[in-house]
Structure 1
Amino acid sequence: MRILILGAGRVGSSVAENLVSEHNDITLVDLDAALLASLQERLDLRVVAGNCTHISVLEAAGAHDADMLIACTASDEANLVACRVARLIFNVPQRIARIRSQEFYERPEIIGPEGFCIDNLISPERSVTTYLQRLIEFPQALQVVDFADGQVTLALVQVDKRSAMAHQLAGDIAELLPGVKAHILLLFRNDKPIEVSPRTVVEANDELLILVDARHARRALQELRAGARQARRVMIAGGGNIGSRLAHELAAEGYAVKVLEHDLARCEKLSTLLPHKVLVLHGDATDEALLEDENIEGTDVFLALTNDDENNIMSSLLAKRMGARRVMALIGRRSYGELMEGSRIDVAVAPDQATIGELLRHVRRGDVVAVHKLRRGATEAIEAIAHGEPASSKVVGRRVSQIKMPAGAAIGALVRGEQILTPSDDPVLQSGDHVIMLVTRRRVIPAVEALFQVSASFF
């Protein structure tokens, strides 16, 4: 697929890196020629320096041959204009825009065919906020994502010595969780993925990737991670787009929320934007005296959500040392996140990894409805819908055990109506089934997509 990406910032470069590795033809456009040169040295892609709203720049970037345009610059206006130009001048078939302002989501007529001609909107801030909300809701998990319209939950949980699964066989999970539809897809031991069979012994400190009926997710995670209490008191360092959005959502759900913001003008604005029960404080999150005054030792969750990785790391480490029960930090640099997560910082959130799945579901071939990056991008979970008949589909009419999945990919579950089926049930796939798959080798993704593409005879 020929894909034109506008903007080489954190989102754009992350998107490019993910798509290049899947044998797409990528062209990256940005005003910063030095940044483009650096990315071109590292990635197999083409670059064009210039303003992405200019017709001449888009033409030089090959917009006339592009199958898809992804506008993810830091400017909403530039992304909007670029999508309209791409449609009206170059007739690019699919156009995706990163939009920060919530106003555009509330007025679909502005982005539609009569407006800026955008097929799909992505919002990193909204994606990260949702991601953090789920982590607060499930304090036992390192990562939580949903599939099949919220019917299935996939969670990454570290087993401790008090867990019901410690030193047990993976196949015993049904006995340990009676009445719960749950299946262990993969485990990580010493940072290395291990394929799971019913005879695999789960050890303390293993990280389990478990798929569970969403109705029983809380009970299942409590059994896997004993001792984790539900959070009620939350402190957020950073009142930017993500911090303010998260504070608003958490307050609506009944959490006691405090927001620390170092910029006085921003504090004054937050005090008018956020609900009255959210306490907005002016100060530095690395100020030990301030944290002590605000009862950091009684805080259930501390989140460092500023735009500064180093500041987020330091404030999280300080909050943890002073007694915060669980700390999370927004860390853009992947190397920083890998170093810090699992140390004194409980969860390191990479904003690009939280966002990339929202975009990838529009890029994937076949009827793919959800994509989530897991464990800092090492694994990908994909939800696809099976279509067609046995004669036109490679999956419909076949049992799970008969489907030839490429090495590095496996079916984790399928959802049929309100019914959740796992590979141990060995069901026959039907048209309309939602199939949830786990992919640990990125290069096999095209082969996985091909399984869910209906042959021409179907039409």
Structure 2
Amino acid sequence: MKIIILGAGRVGESVADSLVSERNDITVIDQDAERLRELQARYDLRGVVGNGIDPTVLADAGANDTDLLIACAAQDETNLVCCKVAKVMFNIPKLIARVRSSSLEKSEQLLGKEGFDVDRVICPEESLTRYIGKLIEFPEAMQVREFAGGRACIVAVRARGGAPMVGHRISALRLMAPDVAMRIVAIYRRFADEPDRFIYCDGATMVEPGDEVFVLSGREQIAQVLASFHRPSGQQARPVRRIMVAGGGKVALRLARQLTRQGNQHIKIIEVNPDRCVELASQVPSDVLVLQGDATDEDILSSESIENVDLFLALTSDDENNIMASLLAKRMGARRVLALINRRSYADLMHGTQIDIALSPAQAMLGELLAYVRQGDVQAVHSLRRGVAEALEIVARGDRKSSRVVGRKISEIHLPPEVTMGLIVRGLPDPTDPDAQHEQAEQEPQVILPRSHTVIESNDHVVFFLSNKRLVKDVEKLFRVSATYF
């Protein structure tokens, strides 16, 4: 696919990194020539210096035969105008715009055919807010990603000694919890003086304390799955009630509003800029406390009883400050800490150490973007392990004559060894078959653990885990419907 990316900032770089690795033809437009030279030195892409709303610049970037334009410059207006010019002047078929303004992202009239003609809006701040919200809902998880309209989830959990399912082989876990439909699809294990290493999972694999375990399961069983890997039997779950946020930016504001609507949380926001504190205090709900100060100051954390905080979130725009504030909060007694880290190399170093969760804002929204970029019936894509691995939901279409998978047993489907089929969700409404939608809506969808004898049916939503995202094309090709395949 030929893709133009407007903007070589943090979001643009993350998007380029992900799409280049999938062998797409990428061109990046930016007015910063030095920044483009850095990207060209690191990735196999082409850079064009200029303003993305200029038709001559778009033409130089190859807009005449481009399949997709992703406008993710810093300013909303630049992205929207670029999309409009791309549609009117070059008729680019797919247009995606990064929009940070909450009022703009929800305006169908402005973004539709009569307005800026944008096919899809992405908002990293909104994606990040939803992502953190899931971690608050499931406080024992390191990652929570949804599939099949939220009916199935993949979760990452740190295995702890003494938990019921830790210290056993995977084959034994099925016998220990026969009523829990779950599948361990990956384990990342710590080794001395080495980064975490991917461990291939089969029945003989042992779950060891300290492992980062990725599990697929139905949503209603996620809490039980997390508990079985993370805390001893009989120990009660501790919900997230007290939250402290370092940094009063857009994400902190969105998060405070979202959590206040849900209730039950006590939220404090620490912001170093006094003017921003005044602005923030006028926008957040009245029961959210806004404090002026530096979250790396030990005295401030101590005076605000950091030792009683269930979740500390470092959400400033400075990676180093987020790391230091999180390390300090953890040392002073915060139960769990999350640091927002833009640089992936930093996130890889800090994730799962003294910092429980190191989160890249661009990675939080990449799944939404990739699901739109992918071909075929891909419904959801989630980037895992800071972009190295991926979980993919794809819909089986056709019949035994036109499909390589429909009507066949799992044992007859040849997947690469690095690809794990984790779950099948059956019985969801099929938008391509209006006559069947009413009948399917009356039935409760099933979450199925695929076995060797399980037969794939048309409209099954199949969830895969890929330890290497370069294998995505192989999975997509396998599920592609062909009129000539027999």
- Which TM class, normalised by the smaller chain length? over 0.9
- Does the alignment pair 1:310 with 2:320? yes
Alignment match, 2:215: 210
The CA deviation at 1:30 is 0.5
Work out whether 1:440 is the aligned partner of 2:445. no
Per-residue CA distance 1:283-327 (angstroms, 9 max, x = gap):
111121111111111110000000000111111111111111111
1:391-429 deviation per Cα after TM superposition (whole angstroms, max 9, x unaligned):
111211112221111242221111002111122264211
Quick one: which amino acid aligns to residue 213 of structure 2? L
1:200 maps to what in 2?
A: 205
What amino acid is aligned across from residue 428 of structure 1 in structure 2?
Answer: V
Kept in 2: contact 1:421–1:427 (CA 8 A): no
**Stretches (4+) displaced over 4 A:** none
Which residue of the partner structure matches residue 11 of structure 1? 11
Aligned position for 2:51: 51
Separation in structure 1 between the aligned mates of residue 102 and residue 404 of structure 2, nearest angstrom: 41
Matches within 5 A, 1:340-351: 340-351=350-361
**CA distance in structure 1 between the partners assigned to 2:349 and 2:474 by the alignment:** 33
Rounded to whole Å, the distance in 2 between the matches of 1:178 and 1:298 is 38
Partner residue of 2:451 out of 390, 415, 424: 424
**TM-score, scaled relative to structure 2:** 0.92
- SS of the aligned residue for 1:89 comes to helix
Cα 1:260–1:163 change in 2 (3 A) is same
Contact 1:158 1:205 in 2 (8 A): yes
- The 5-angstrom pairing of residues 148-167 of structure 1 reads 148-167=148-167
Aligned counterparts, 1:41-190, within 5 A: 41-190=41-190
Structure 2 counterpart of 1:98, one-letter code: R
CA distance in 1, matches of 2:178, 2:260: 35
Q: Which amino acid in the other structure matches residue 210 of structure 1? A: V
Distance in 2 between the 1:172 and 1:132 partners? Answer: 33
Cα-to-partner distance string for 1:249-298 (whole Å, 9 max, x where unaligned)? 11222211111111112111111211111111111111211111111111
Preserved CA contact (<8 Å) 1:392 1:454: yes
Whichever residue aligns with residue 212 of structure 2, its letter is E
How far apart are the structure 2 equivalents of 1:222 and 1:442?
Answer: 29
Query: Structure 1 length as normaliser, TM-score?
Result: 0.97
Structure 2 counterpart of 1:414, one-letter code: I
Within 5 Å, which residues of 2 pair with 1:30-45? Answer: 30-45=30-45
2:397 is aligned, of 387, 390, 410, to: 387
Tell me whether 391-400 or 85-94 shows the greater mean CA deviation: 391-400
State the SS of the aligned residue for 1:149: helix
Q: Distance in 1 between matches of 2:302 and 2:211?
A: 34
Measure how far apart 1:178 and its partner are. 4.4
Shift of residue 176 of structure 1? 2.9
Identity, in percent, stands at 49
Conserved? CA contact 2:247–2:314, under 8 Å = yes
- Decide whether the 8 Å contact of 1:173 with 1:183 is kept in 2: no
Aligned position for 2:262: 253
Q: Which residue identity lines up with residue 159 of structure 1 in the other structure?
A: A
Instruction: Name the structure 1 match of 2:438.
Output: none
Q: Distance in 1 between matches of 2:469 and 2:257?
A: 37
Alpha carbons of structure 1 residues 426 and 275: separation in structure 2 relative to 1, 3 Å: farther
Q: Which sections of structure 2, spanning at least 5 residues, go unmatched? A: 191-195, 428-444
Hey, what's the Cα distance between the residues in 1 that align with 2:107 and 2:348? 39
Q: By how many angstroms is 1:4 displaced?
A: 0.6
Relative to structure 1, the CA distance from residue 137 to residue 362 in structure 2 (aligned partners, 3 Å threshold; closer, same or farther) is same
Shift in Å, 1:27: 0.5
The 8 Å contact of residues 18 and 387 in structure 2, kept in 1 or not, is answered as no
Please report how far the alpha carbon of residue 169 of structure 1 lies from its aligned counterpart in structure 2 after TM superposition: 1.3
Q: What is the SS of the residue equivalent to 2:312? A: strand
Q: Is the 8 A contact 1:407 1:444 kept in 2?
A: no
Residue identity matched to 2:26? I
Question: Structure 1, unaligned stretches of length 5 or more?
Answer: none
In the TM superposition, residue 174 of structure 1 has moved relative to its aligned partner by 2.8
Q: Which amino acid aligns with 1:453?
A: R
Coordinate RMSD, CA, aligned: 1.4
Secondary structure of the 1:121 match is: strand
- Opposite residue 217 of structure 1, the aligned amino acid is I
Matching residue of 1:374: 384
Q: Relative to structure 2, which stretch is displaced further, 407-416 or 143-152?
A: 407-416
Q: Relative to structure 1, is the Cα distance of residues 413 and 271 closer, same or farther in structure 2, using a 3 angstrom cutoff? A: same
The offset of 1:6, in angstroms, is 0.6
Q: Distance in 1 between matches of 2:413 and 2:252?
A: 44
Determine the C-alpha separation between the residues in 2 that align with 1:113 and 1:374: 34
